[in-house]
Amino acid sequence: MLRENALKKRLQLGETVFGLFCSIPHPTLVEMIAAAAYDFVIIDTEHVLINPETLEHMLRAADASGITALVRVPDAAPNTILRVLDAGAHGVVIPHVRTGAEAEAAVRASRYHPRGMRSLNGGRPADFAKVDLPSYLDYANEQIMVVPMIENREGVENIAEISAVPGIDMILEGAADLSQSYGVPWQTRSDIVQNALAQVAEITQKRGVPYCAIPRAAEDLVTWQGRGVRAFVLGEERGTAFRALRAHLHTFRTQVAQEETT
């Protein structure tokens, strides 16, 4: 049965939450992120090839570990969104949302009547039809999250209409692709990119929609907190693991080098 969406509840209460992208296609990584006490995980199927069975097992791991799992889909096609939600995701992250119409289409594909036209199904999230299905539809509509990513100049220009769409639960930044859209690829700290992110955060929050930042250093977190932001994605587990592995090896190589010179 689809559990209560703890992330959505905490956002509504104005609490601070931390998440992590999961790009290694294995349930163990989801369990590790949960064990490390992150509040939510975003399983990435945009940049990573994950077969449907593995994705479902990763979502089962999230259920068992008590962490809210969203899935970043590769596109906003209704069937793409449908299968992810029917597998048990608590929501979808939609990349490259540029207009209010695109946001509306994502909401419509993610929710049942009267909020949308998601195809009816009595699978995993509905306990295989063990529960009362008409009641489940209302429950699912409340628990599912729709999270557009703003990764293009057009998305910044249209953020007022995107964040005004009923059923949008959070806006997530995408500074890397946004930098490319502005003609300064990977220069995520450039003024043009930072000003665009600040504009998106301000307008989004004025609409009453939580904004989720991706701080790339501790000082970024302080800046975003000063702007009232309470939701953060702290990168992805591959980068985190790589840095930890490199630092771990460096510690022992440094010790060996010191011993050899004494």
Over residues 135-181, the pLDDT tens digits come to 999 999 999 999 999 999 999 999 999 999 999 999 999 999 999 99
Q: Is the pLDDT of residue 247 over 90?
A: yes
- Under the banding of pLDDT at 50, 70 and 90, the label for residue 2 is very high
* E-strand stretches of 143-230: 145-150, 171-173, 211-213
- Under the banding of pLDDT at 50, 70 and 90, the label for residue 128 is very high
On average, the pLDDT of the chain sits at: 97
pLDDT recorded at residue 262: 75
- Under the banding of pLDDT at 50, 70 and 90, the label for residue 185 is very high
Percent of the chain with pLDDT over 70: 100
Question: Mean of the pLDDT values across residues 198-202?
Answer: 98
- Yes or no: say if 90 and 69 are a contact pair by the CB < 8 Å rule: yes
The candidate with the shortest Cα–Cα distance to 82, out of 105, 48, 49, 114, is 105
Q: Is the pLDDT of residue 100 over 90?
A: yes
- Yes or no: say if 30 and 58 are a contact pair by the CB < 8 Å rule: yes
Tell me if residue 47 is catalytic.
yes
pLDDT recorded at residue 259: 84
Question: Mean of the pLDDT values across residues 79-85?
Answer: 98
Q: What is the pLDDT of residues 225-240, one digit of tens each?
A: 999 999 999 999 999 9
- Yes or no: say if 12 and 231 are a contact pair by the CB < 8 Å rule: no
The type of residue at 30 is V
User: Is the CATH code 3.20.20.60 the one for domain 6-260?
Assistant: yes
- Yes or no: say if 19 and 234 are a contact pair by the CB < 8 Å rule: yes
- Yes or no: say if 72 and 102 are a contact pair by the CB < 8 Å rule: no
Collapsing DSSP to helix, strand or coil, 131 comes out as coil
CA distance 236 to 19: 9
CA distance 259 to 262: 5
- Under the banding of pLDDT at 50, 70 and 90, the label for residue 67 is very high
Task: Name the catalytic one among 47, 113, 248, 250.
Answer: 47
Question: Mean of the pLDDT values across residues 239-252?
Answer: 97
- Yes or no: say if 199 and 156 are a contact pair by the CB < 8 Å rule: yes
Percent of the chain with pLDDT over 90: 97
User: What are the boundaries of each domain within the chain?
Assistant: 6-260
Q: Is the pLDDT of residue 115 over 80?
A: yes
The type of residue at 187 is Q
- End-to-end Cα distance, the chain: 62
